[in-house]
Amino acid sequence: MQDSVADRSAIVVNDDFEDEFPDARRATTLCAANLLRTANRLLAEIDRRRRTVADLSASASEILAIVEGAGEPLPPHVIADRLLITSGTMTSLLDTLERRGLIRRVTHPTDRRKILIDISDEARSILDRMLPRIHGASRDVFAVLSDTECTTLVELLERVQTRLQALAQEATPEGDERRRRPGDRG
């Protein structure tokens, strides 16, 4: 299904946005809305390309890539930490990958109470085909930017990520922001 022209363009916010939301900034709302749209579309494109190789979720694919990238079997909690998921979610994903023959649980070499996750040769073969497609998506999506522009974008995103980390350490705002409904602005 093709997007309409309006769906392909940037999200716009009306000039009177700050009249309706006096405690907000139009420019920051534009940034947030367009960043979210872009991230969703990038993830959809990566997913589309990934699924041409194997019917794996993003998380399942990332588990395989994390273990392969480590060059050695890893404990489940390390993988979960890197994926930012709970141990319950990790167990479910690992069970599915094990049933499909893509990972195996192996005993830790020095502590028999612990297990490690290793990937199969089939998983390596899938990654050999999948990872170039994922990186190709990044190449194709960001082809509209020069290397300098990509560097600038990363620097700007780093600043936003640093701010998000700082905000996460603060108390959640009480919600005293205001809204004036269009009919009330009269």
154-178: per-residue pLDDT in tens? 999 999 999 999 999 999 888 778 8
Percent of the chain surpassing pLDDT 90: 71
The answer to whether residues 63 and 103 touch, using CB atoms and an 8 Å cutoff, is yes
**64 has a pLDDT exceeding 80:** yes
> Residues with Cβ < 8 Å from 38, sequence gap 6 or more?
none
Q: Please, how many CA atoms are within 13 Å of residue 130, restricted to the half-sphere of its CB?
A: 24
pLDDT band at residue 8 using 50, 70 and 90 as cut-offs: low
When pLDDT is cut at 50, 70 and 90, the band that residue 5 belongs to is: very low
pLDDT over threshold 80, residue 185: no
Instruction: Please report which confidence band the pLDDT of residue 186 belongs to, taking 50, 70 and 90 as the band edges.
Output: low
Q: Which fold has domain 57-137?
A: Arc Repressor Mutant, subunit A (1.10.10)
Q: Is the pLDDT of residue 135 over 80?
A: yes
Listed by start position, the domains of the chain span 1-50, 57-137
Task: From residue 77, give the alpha-carbon distance in Å to each of 12, 70, 117.
Answer: 42, 14, 10
**What distances in angstroms separate CA 100 from CA 10, 68, 96, 120, 158, one per listed residue?**
41, 17, 6, 10, 37
Give the angle 134-138-141 at the CA atoms, nearest 5°. 130
Question: For residues 97 and 91, what is the distance between their CA atoms, to the nearest angstrom?
Answer: 10
Distance in angstroms (rounded) separating the CA atoms of residues 103 and 123:
7
pTM of the model: 0.80
Q: How far is CA 78 from the centre of its chain?
A: 18
Tokens of residue 146, six digits: 């020069």
